[in-house]
Amino acid sequence: MGVWINMTIQEVLGKFVEEIEFDDLPKEVIKRAKYCLLDYIACALIGSQTLLAEKYYYLGKKVGGIQESIMIGDGGLVPALWAAMTNSTIGHIHEYDDGCPGGGHTGTVVIPAALAIGDKMKITGEELITSIVMGYEIACRVGRSFGPSHGRRGFHSTSTFATFGATSAAGKGLKLNNKELARALGIACVQATGITEVHKGRSILKPIQVGKASGNGVFSALLAKKDIPISPKILEENYTKSFSDGDVDINKMIKSIGDDFAIMNTSVKLHPSCAHTHKAIEATMAIKREYNIEPTDVKKIIVRSYPYAAKYMGGPDRYNIQTITEAKFSIPYLISLVIDHGKVQVDDFIYKKLKSKKILDLMQKIEVIGDPVMDKMASRPQEVTITMIDGSEYSSIGERREVSLETIKRKFKCLAESILSRGDVNILQDQILNLEKLSNIQELHSYLIKDRFSHEFLDK
């Protein structure tokens, strides 16, 4: 690693990204990057089957441009910028994508940027892994330096912080030098934005906003190759002030850089909903499995949670859900699904189910209570207590648990096999888990679905 004397934050981060090579990465970091890619591809493939995805595919081909990067789930080649936006958007549609402290839904922003530029530059599997690791690292380092005021002001960390990760991943794939990478991070400062209001009301703007973050990262890296004047301190002196109330520790962006890697802290989702609902889902699933309770036998359900989740995922507005996005953030809705049929799955998020009388009746029996004590516990658990009509009572506590490779592989196969043949799924999985052996990442293309729109359709 280099020496960071008399350098700005942007320059330190840029120099670090430039200097890191595949051989510098510990084996466990390389493995984790491949697991993250496997999980992201699964989320993108299942997201590719939505109407929003088809609109992106259609517009990408209609607008046209150089054919350099693949749109996952369609197979069409479009400019790298559009590919990044498309692939990021479809990866987030079902709220099934990973999370990393500081970077929000890091993978679904960083990985599409790395893949889009990787396609354009025909990089190797080793180079793709390195780009992904750097993307997670910079996104999370920037994000971890901000205090709680960033979120209180209504900013969405996936868009505001992961943009810097996408910029770094794209810049690494483009082989930018340290000065160009520092410039790219500066350019990203004027693009990295997003608001949490997008998950409210009758809209599907949340995945679109996330996709824009990935595209912004690619755009920042591409622009950085041009001689565009940018302040070398815009990140530390301007961006931090504009997106916080001053509670930013700049030193966290570079402290102990290279000693460990943020991607190791990634958490993989087992349910297609907001991560702040998962422990309550797990606790309810445990009760449902053990006692096989039926919806008609339930008298009331109390969910005790850390205050943030109780307020934003269990507040009054979470009982009157109008959209699919709102449903993914509603503890009452999600627990009702588990009580009804034992799990939460992608097919549960259709408008017909949002109006199900059985689900709506169950929701009215649920109360979510915020408990500050749970904030002080390292695992920030959620406890579910179900009282039955006959007076019996069942409780379970949901806590964060590590997701094994075997579990990630099961998730991948479950989602991917709804779209691809079993044979193609197995080959694709094997390629990803042996990614470092690929001499050109375009070898992945043939297993990501054929062209879905004919030229005749596009001409209409």
| Low-confidence residues of the chain: pLDDT under 50 | 454-460
The architecture (CATH level 2) of 275-398 comes to 2-Layer Sandwich (3.30)
Name the 3-class secondary structure at 383.
strand
The whole-number pLDDT of residue 414 equals: 95
The whole-number pLDDT of residue 3 equals: 58
Burial 8-45 (b: 16+ CB within 10 A, else e): bbbbbbbbbbbebebeebeeebbebbbbbbbbbbbbbb
The whole-number pLDDT of residue 98 equals: 96
The whole-number pLDDT of residue 123 equals: 98
The whole-number pLDDT of residue 445 equals: 85
pLDDT tens by residue, 288-340 = 999 999 999 999 999 999 999 999 999 998 998 888 888 999 999 999 999 99
pLDDT tens by residue, 126-181 = 999 999 999 999 999 999 999 999 999 999 999 999 999 999 999 999 999 999 99
Alpha-carbon distances, residue 84 vs 147, 177, 222, 408, 452 (angstroms): 29, 22, 13, 23, 18
Strands 393-398 and 382-388: antiparallel
Among 213, 230, 217, 212, residue whose Cα is nearest residue 131: 217
Alpha-carbon distances, residue 359 vs 319, 321, 362, 460 (angstroms): 11, 12, 5, 42
The residue length of the chain stands at: 460
184, 14 Cβ separation under 8 angstroms: yes
Residue matched to tokens 């991560």: 275
d(C-alpha 310, C-alpha 271), whole Å: 18
5, 156 Cβ separation under 8 angstroms: no
d(C-alpha 106, C-alpha 120), whole Å: 22
Among 142, 152, 85, residue whose Cα is nearest residue 113: 85
Q: Which helix (H) or strand (E) holds 393?
A: strand 393-398
d(C-alpha 112, C-alpha 120), whole Å: 12
d(C-alpha 317, C-alpha 320), whole Å: 6
- Determine the topology of domain 9-265 in CATH: 2-methylcitrate dehydratase PrpD (1.10.4100)
Alpha-carbon distances, residue 453 vs 59, 60, 76, 200, 450 (angstroms): 11, 11, 9, 32, 9
The whole-number pLDDT of residue 456 equals: 44
Token pair for residue 386?
């179900």
Residue matched to tokens 């109390």: 302
The whole-number pLDDT of residue 453 equals: 53
458, 61 Cβ separation under 8 angstroms: yes
Pinpoint the residues of the chain covered by CATH 1.10.4100.10: 9-265
Pinpoint the residues of the chain covered by CATH 3.30.1330.120: 275-398
CB atoms within 10 A of CB 396: 20
